[in-house]
Structure 1
Amino acid sequence: MIRSRFFWAGAILLAIIPMLMVDISEHYVAWQKEVREPIIEAVQNFENVSRAQKAVMLDTVFQTNQDLVQASAIKGALCLVLLFVGIYLLRRYAKKENRAFLKPALTILGLMVVFMAAKISIAIAVNTEPGAKFIDVYQGETSFKSIIDKNFKGKVVYVDFWGTTCGPCLIEFDNFTQPLKQHYKNNHKIAYLYVANGNRYLWKKQIARHKVDGQHLFLDYADYNKLYREALNNDSATVQMPHYLIVDKTGSVAVADANRPSDADMLYKELDKYLNEQ
């Protein structure tokens, strides 16, 4: 056991750096998906979106850009500070304690692994978005019908198949999902199911970041594809993200290719048809 406050202070500072580097890489991915792609989408697509709505979208994008750049710069500077201070403290330790290099190096590496494992475990386990609920299913035993019957009996369900790093999916969350829910806020006959695939580490972080309440389910690649094709009743369907379905009150898929939240007027007509059924 190494008994030196200089060593442990320096080792802890260095062990924090990989955690910050992971955050910086996440910020870069987020910039690609939440800044670059939304600008392209706003320019090229969204024919049904008004100029005022596009202006709001771009304001959100520019604010996100500012937040991500600032966060990356602060964490990058903090990494440098931790690196220099950590190395300084370890040099103090090395001058005072004439020890072999291997044991301290392995101890620092072990601390990094522990810190990273804790960071990943917390990100996977913790839910910070009020109103978000999580559905558990056994791997390989996923049935779309059973999920609907168990969790949404008697409800009209708007189902969103999305990916954790899918730019168009995140654009819908940021700009159009909340207006949809606000439109139906007093209607207790509707529910929302979000089926995700991609990076499990990012899953709940994205839900919290983009403020997506409702019922959530994460599946690995094979189960996601299986559930997607089962829901569409098409064994050869190519998975597309985002993709939306409407399930009626009997638990049957009524619309296998529903409109997006950004196609608000057409979507409301689709949903109203099934919400108003007796």
Structure 2
Amino acid sequence: MIKSKFFWIGAILLATTPLLLIDVTKHALSWKTEVHDEMIYAVQNTYNFTVQQKADILDRILESNKTLMAAMCIKSFISIIFFVLSLYFFRLFAKTEKTNFMKPLITCIALVVCFVLVKVLLLPKLYQDEKVKFVELQHDEDNLNNLYHTNFNGKVVYVDFWGTTCGPCLEEFRNFTKPLKDKYKLKNDIAYLYVSQGNRYLWKQQIERYNIEGTHLFLNNNQYDKLYKQSIRNNKAVVFMPRYLIIDKHGKIVETRAPQPSNVDSISTILNKYLAAN
């Protein structure tokens, strides 16, 4: 056991540096989707946004740009300071302690690995929100029947097929999902199911980042394709994201091409129709 305080200060600073760099990378990816890509979608008017919708989106883009750029700069600067300070304390350790080089090196590597594993694997599992529920399909299931009757019986369900790096999917989450849900927050007979594919680690990060309340299902590519095609009743369909469905109160898929949340008038009309039905 290495007892030098200089070594442990240096080792902790060094182990913290990659955690900051991971955050910088995440901020850079967020900047690409939340600023760069969304600016393109807004300018191209992909979904025929109204003037007010486009103005609101641009306001959020500018705010995201300012926040993300500040976070990247600050954390990059801190990571450099931590790395330089770690070298300084390692130098003090080397001057005051005569020890084998391999032991401190192995200890540092182990500490760095532990810190990274805790951040990447453990901390996401600690994310809990009573309004967010994670479910799974049984191994041989390729439809939503059992999932509906187990979790949503008697409710209208708005189903969202999305991907963890799908730009249009994330755009809906950022700008339109919450306003739509706010219209129905007093309704007890509506629920939201989000079916995703992509990167499992990034999946929960996106759910947390965009505060996507509802029931969440993550599938590998093959499972996703099968469920998608079975749900829209077209085995030859090309998977397109985002894709929205509506399940009525009897568990039947009644809309296989429902409007997206940004088309608030159309989706509200359809949801109201099925919510009013017995």
TM-score normalised by length of structure 2 = 0.94
Alignment of 1:155-194 (within 5 A): 155-194=155-194
**Correspondences of 1:46-125 after superposition (within 5 Å):** 46-125=46-125
Q: 1:220 to 1:47 in 2, by over 3 A?
A: closer
- Say which SS state the counterpart of residue 91 (structure 1) adopts: helix
Q: CA deviation at 1:138?
A: 4.7
Cα drift, residue 121 of structure 1: 2.2
Give the structure 2 partner of residue 261 of structure 1: 261
Distance 2:275 2:72 in 1: 45
Q: Give the secondary-structure state (helix, strand or coil) at the position aligned to 2:127.
A: coil
Residue type at the aligned position of 1:5: K
Within 1, Cα distance between the matches of 2:201 and 2:242? Answer: 19
**What residue in structure 2 maps to residue 25 of structure 1?**
25
Distance change (3 Å), C-alpha of 1:25 and 1:158: same
Q: Which moved more, 1:148-157 or 1:213-222?
A: 213-222
1:15 and 2:15 matched: yes
Shift in alpha-carbon separation, 1:99–1:236, aligned structure 2, 3 A:
farther
Q: What secondary structure sits across from 1:238 in the alignment?
A: coil
1:93 to partner: Cα distance: 0.8
Are the counterparts in 2 of residues 35 and 61 from structure 1 also a CA contact under 8 Å? yes
Tell me the C-alpha RMSD between the 2 structures: 1.7
Note the C-alpha offset of 1:208.
2.0
Q: 1:220 corresponds to which residue?
A: 220
User: Do the aligned partners of residues 47 and 216 (structure 1) sit closer, same or farther apart at CA in structure 2, a change above 3 Å counting?
Assistant: closer
After TM superposition, give the deviation of residue 140 of structure 1 in Å.
5.5
The CA distance in 1 between the partners of 2:136 and 2:157, in whole Å, is 18
Aligned-partner Cα distance in 1 for 2:168–2:44: 12
Structure 1 runs (4+) deviating above 6 angstroms are none
Give the aligned partner of residue 39 of structure 1: 39
| Aligned CA distance change for structure 1 residues 47 and 197 (closer, same or farther; 3 Å) | closer
Give the deviation of 1:139 after TM superposition.
Answer: 5.0
Q: CA deviation at 1:3?
A: 1.9
- Which letter does structure 1 place at the counterpart of 2:194? Y
Gaps of 5+ in 1: none
Q: How many residues align?
A: 278
State the 1:142 CA deviation.
5.7
One-letter code of the match for 1:17? T
Shift of 1:46: 4.6
Q: Secondary structure at the match of 1:116?
A: helix
CA distance in 2 between counterparts of 1:129 and 1:68 reads 24
Cα distance in structure 2, aligned partners of 1:129 and 1:193:
15
Amino acid at match of 1:171: E
TM-score of the superposed pair, with normalisation by structure 1: 0.94
Cα distance, 1:7–1:50 mapped onto 2, change above 3 Å: same
Distance 1:183 1:163 in 2: 25
Contact 1:129–1:211 (CA under 8 A) maintained in structure 2: no
Deviation at residue 27 of structure 1 after TM alignment: 0.7
Name the structure 2 match of 1:151: 151
Give 1:128 shift.
5.0
